[in-house]
Structure 1
Amino acid sequence: MDLQSFLTGLQPLLGLGVLILLAWLLSEDRRAVRPRLILAGIALQLVMALVLLKLPQVQDAFLVLNHMVLALQEATQTGTELVFGYLGGGSAPFETSYPQNSFVLAFRALPLILVISALSALLFHWRILPLLVRGFAWLLRRTLGTGGPLGLGAAANVFVGMTEAPLLIRPYLASMSRSALFGLMTCGMATIAGTVMFLYASFLSGVVPDAIGHILTASLINAPAALTLAGILVPEGASATDEPEVRIDAQTRSAMDAVTRGTLDAIPLWLNIMAMLIVMVALVSLANQLLGLLPAIGGEPVSAQRLLGWIMAPVVWLIGIPWSEASAAGALMGIKTVLNELIAYLELAGLPEGTLSERSRLIMTYALCGFANLGSLGIMIGGLGTMAPARRDEIVGLGMKSILAGTMTTLMTGAVVALWI
C-alpha cells in the first residue's frame, strides 16, 4: 500500500472522529453521554455497511431491486402515457426536432411517487411492511438500547416519511422524553421516505450502478447513526428499554382501500415536490444573477453553487472525497442542506463526466441521502406539532438542531461507506 492510499484510508476515520467529537462538544449534557451508545452505534454502522456492500447474497438482492425499479418505471410509464400522452412518454403526434429534450420531469419521473405510495399502503395492509419495521426495531433495541416507541418510530422512518412514521407512535408522543423526541426528529431528518427512494434511484441509475440498493442501504445505515448522534446531542438520563411495546394496526379495510388511500395521500406530495422544485430552482437562479454582479474569481462568475462548494469542501474531504473533487462535492452537500436532496441528486446525475470519480459519486450518494433541510423542518414541525400540540414549542426549539444532527448523520454514513469501497 502506497502513502497516498494509506492517507486516503485515514480520511474517513478522521471524519468519523471529528463528527463524534463535534456532537459531544455540542451536547446538552456531556456527562450523560453513554459510551456504549457511541461504540454500539459505530459498530452497528460498520457491520451493516460491510454486510450490505460486500456480501454476495445482498448484492444479488440489489440486482433484483434494480430490476424492480425498471419494472416500476415501465409500469408507471404505461399509466402516464394513457393520461398525459406524449408528455408522459408516449409517441409524439409530430416530428420532434430535439428528442433529447422531450423528457418532462413532472409527467415522466414524478408520477412514480403515486405508484410507490399505493404499493406501500398495500404492503402495509398485507402486514409485510410492519413485519420489516418490527424486525429493524428489534435490532435497534438489542444493539443501541432504544426503547419501544422510539425504536419503532426510527425503524419506520427507513421505509416511510418523517410525518408518516410518528403516526405509528402518536399516542406516545406526548409522554416521550426530550431525548427520545429529538431522536425521532433526527431519524426523520437523516432518512428518506420509500415514496421517493425509487424516484431518486431512477435519477442516478445512469451514473451510479445499483443505485436503488445504495440508497436503501444508506437509509438503513442512517437510522442507527441518527440515534447515536441524537443520543450524544440530547442524552437520555436513563435507559428507555423499559418503555412499552407498540402495536402497528392497519387503518385500511381492504386491499383496494389501501391502494386508493395510498394513491390519494401521495397527490399532495407530488404537487408539493413540483412546486418546491420550481421555487427553489428559481431562487437559486435569482441568487446566481445577483452574485454574477460580483467580480469573477478564477475566470468564472461567482455562483451559489461555487460558494457552497468552498464552504463545504473541507467537510466532504473529511468523509473521503479527494481534495481535487471536494469543491464540486461540497456544492452538492450545500445544495442538499439549503434546498433539498432531490435537487442535489439531480445535480449529481447531471455533473459533467470526470467531475467526480466513481468512488466519490458513490460516497456522495450516501452523504446526500436524508431529508435534513429547511423545507423539511417546516413539514416536520407542522406534522409533529399537530400530533403533539402540547410539545410544539419543544419541537420548534429542537428543529435547527435536528437539521444539524441529520446532516451529520448522512456525512457519518458517507465516511463509513468510504472505509469499505
Structure 2
Amino acid sequence: MLRLQSALGIFALLLLAFALAENRRAVSLRQAAIGLVATFATAILLMKVPVVARAFGAINDAVGAISAASRAGSSFVFGYVGGGALPFDLKVPGADFILAFQALPIVLVMSVLTTLLFYWRVLPPIVRGMAWLLERTLGVGGAVGLSTAANIFLGMVEAPLFVRPYLSQMSRSELFLVMTGGMAGIAGTVLVLYATLLAPLIPDAAAHFVIASVLGAPAAILVSLIMVPETSVRRTGGTLEDPEMEVASTMDAIVKGTGAGIELLINIVAMLLVLVALVYLVNAMLGLLPNVGGAAISLQRLLGLVMAPVCWLMGLPWDQAVTAGSLMGTKTVLNELIAYVDFSKLPADALDPRSRLIMLYAMCGFANFASLGIMIGGLGVMAPERREEINALGLKSIVSGTLTTCLMGAVVGVLS
C-alpha cells in the first residue's frame, strides 16, 4: 500500500507542477511522459545495478580532486580557517567547516577551469554532443543539458559556469531549467559530508547520495519543462554557434577567469548574508506571536505543516509525515546541511528505514532561500542582461527544485 501511496504521490506532484505552470497549453504531455520514463529508468538502473553507481563514483572522484585543489589553495592562504590542519582539538564535529573560506573558494577554481576549457576548445564540442543527445531524447538544448548534467556533481553556480557564454542566449524556459537543475541537486563538495552524517542511519548512504545527484538531472528537466514550458525557438540547441572568448593566451585565461570568479564570489557571499539575515528577521517577528504547542512560530514550522501532506504523498505513514515535514521546512528555510544534521539526531523510532531512505532523496537539493541568494548573485554576474528575469524566476525555482527532490523521493518509494 505504501508503494501505491508513493505512485499516487508522483502524479500528485506532477499535477501540482502543472497547476503552477506559466502556460498550461504549451506543456508537452509527450515530453513530460518521456521525462517521467527517463527518471524511472535512471532510478531503476542506478538502484538495481550497483556497478553503474560505482562508475559515477569515479566521476565524483574527479570533482573531489577539484575540491581538494581548491582546499589546498584556501588552506595555504587562510590556514586552518580555510581547511588546513587545526591547531587545537575539535570539540564539536563539523564546527571546523566555514562556508566562505572552504566551500565557496571553489568558485574561483571553477571559473578559471571553465575559461581555460573554452579557450582550449574543449567545452564547445561537449556542448554540441550534449545537444545532439538531449535534443533527440528530452528535447533539451545542449548548453542547458550540459549545465544540468554538471549539476550532478557541482553546485548551482559552478555548473552554469560551464555554459556561462551561452546564458545570455537562452530562452526563458531554458534559463529556468538551469536554475531548477541547480536547486534540485547538491554539490560534490558537500556530498561526503552529508553521507558521513547519515551513514549510521542508512546503509550505503554515500551511494544513495550519488544516485540522488544523477536522478536529479532527468527529474529537474521533467518538472521545469512543465512549470515553464518552451514557447520560443530554442537558441541553445545543436546548431549553437561557439562563443567568442576574448582571451589571448593560457595565462590570460587564468587571469580573466580569476577576475570573473572574484566578482562572482563577492556577489554570492553578499546575497547569502542578506537573505539569511532577512529570514532571521521574519522569524523574530513571528516569534512575537503567542507560542503554539510550546514552541515559537517560525517559517520552518509553518513550512513543516505545509510539507507534511507532501511527505505523506511520497510514501511516508502519516504518523511520520509531520516529523519529515519539519525536516523539509528546516531544509527550505535554512539549508539542507542543518536539516541533515537534525535528521541524524532523530530518535531511532521517529522514521522507519524506508522513510529514512525516501527523506534522504527528498532533502537532497539546494532549494532554500539562502541558495536563492547564491543563485541570483552568481547568475546575475554571469548574465547581467538577464538579471531581471533571473530575479523573477527565483522563488519559482525554489518550488520547482523542491518538487523535483520530492518527486525523486516518491520514485524511490515506489522502488523500495
- For normalisation by structure 2, the TM-score amounts to 0.76
Letter in 2 for 1:294: P
Change (3 A) 1:411 1:308: same
**Paired residues for 1:4-403 under 5 Å:** 6=1, 8-58=2-52, 60-61=54-55, 83-84=79-80, 101=92, 104-106=95-97, 111=102, 139-237=133-231, 240=234, 242-245=237-240, 287=283, 291=287, 294-295=290-291, 297=293, 305-403=300-398
Letter in 2 for 1:395: I
Letter in 2 for 1:349: S
Residue 399 of structure 2 is aligned to residue 408 of structure 1: no
SS in 1 for 2:25: helix
Change (3 A) 1:183 1:359: same
1:313 CA displacement: 0.5
Letter in 1 for 2:314: I
Is 1:141–1:151's contact at 8 Å kept on the other side of the alignment? no
Deviations 1:354-394 (A, max 9, x none): 22222222211111122222222222222222333332222
Unaligned runs of 5+ in 1: 1-5
Change (3 A) 1:117 1:158: farther
SS in 2 for 1:213: helix
1:43 CA displacement: 0.4
1:50 CA displacement: 0.7
Is 2:43–2:215's contact at 8 Å kept on the other side of the alignment? yes
Cα distance in 2 for partners of 1:278, 1:113 equals 16
Deviations 1:88-120 (A, max 9, x none): 77685xxx8xx8646633379x84776898699
1:186 CA displacement: 1.6
SS in 1 for 2:153: coil
Letter in 2 for 1:398: L
1:205 CA displacement: 2.9
Is 2:304–2:330's contact at 8 Å kept on the other side of the alignment? no
1:319 CA displacement: 0.9
Letter in 2 for 1:344: A
Cα distance in 2 for partners of 1:319, 1:252 equals 53
Letter in 1 for 2:22: E
Cα distance in 2 for partners of 1:117, 1:83 equals 18
Q: CA RMSD in A?
A: 4.6
Bigger mean CA offset, 383-392 vs 303-312? 303-312
Change (3 A) 1:247 1:152: farther
1:80 CA displacement: 7.4
Change (3 A) 1:376 1:252: farther
Is 2:358–2:412's contact at 8 Å kept on the other side of the alignment? yes
Q: How many corresponding residue pairs?
A: 407
Bigger mean CA offset, 330-339 vs 288-297? 288-297
1:309 CA displacement: 2.7
Cα distance in 1 for partners of 2:384, 2:267 equals 27
Cα distance in 2 for partners of 1:343, 1:381 equals 22
Is 2:107–2:265's contact at 8 Å kept on the other side of the alignment? no
Q: What percentage of aligned pairs have identical amino acids?
A: 45
Change (3 A) 1:53 1:396: same
Change (3 A) 1:238 1:34: farther
